[in-house]
Amino acid sequence: MKRITVLLADDNRAVRREIREFLELEDDLEVVGEAKNGREAVAMVKKLHPALVLMDVAMPLLNGFQATRRILKAVPATKVLMLSVHSDEVYVEEATKCGAMGYLIKYTAVNSLCGAIREVHKGNTFFGPSIPCHLHKSNPKT
């Protein structure tokens, strides 16, 4: 079975560690790297070409939106799934404008995270259950 390679991009080391430990329980998911800021995430994607980046919105040296734009320009095959504490519509809209294929709220995403990664990897969009429906009406997965 080919594993889905994932890069974790979050400025909080404890969050990265928890997510890594959670994802490592899955046979089809492989964490290939961790970035602590947006600039590092862009550089790591260019080097590692992961299938998917799990991207925090609020990070230093490039926020998640800026990093997502640069990543998708440099390595268009990589998909981005946003993971954030922000559930405001403006954040979700900005994430989709910059090319993210999904958006999950941290600390409520544990039950949805692996499924979201798999769906986004397939090319589908995925929005967590707390994301307002009108922001992703065309998404049959939520």
pTM: 0.88
Given this model, what pLDDT does residue 88 score? 82
90 phi and psi, to 5 degrees?
-60, -35
Within-domain flag for 12: yes
140 lies in some domain:
no
Residue 142 counted as domain residue = no
The number of distinct structural domains making up the chain is 1
Where is 140: in which H helix or E strand?
A: none
Model pLDDT for residues 68-114, shown as the tens digit of each residue: 999 999 999 999 999 988 878 889 999 999 999 999 988 766 678 99
**How would you class 90 by CB atoms within 10 Å of its CB: exposed for 0-12, middle for 13-18, buried for 19 or more?**
exposed
The strand pairing partners of 4, in sequence order, are: 29
- Give me the CATH number covering residue 99: 3.40.50.2300
Q: Which of the 8 DSSP states describes residue 47?
A: H
| b/e per residue 120-141 (b: at least 16 CB within 10 A) | bbeebbbbbeebeeeebeebee
Residue 55 lies in a domain: yes
Residue 112 lies in a domain: yes
Residue 45 lies in domain: 4-135
Whether residue 9 lies inside any domain: the answer is yes
Whether 34 is covered by a domain: the verdict is yes
Is 119 inside a domain boundary? yes
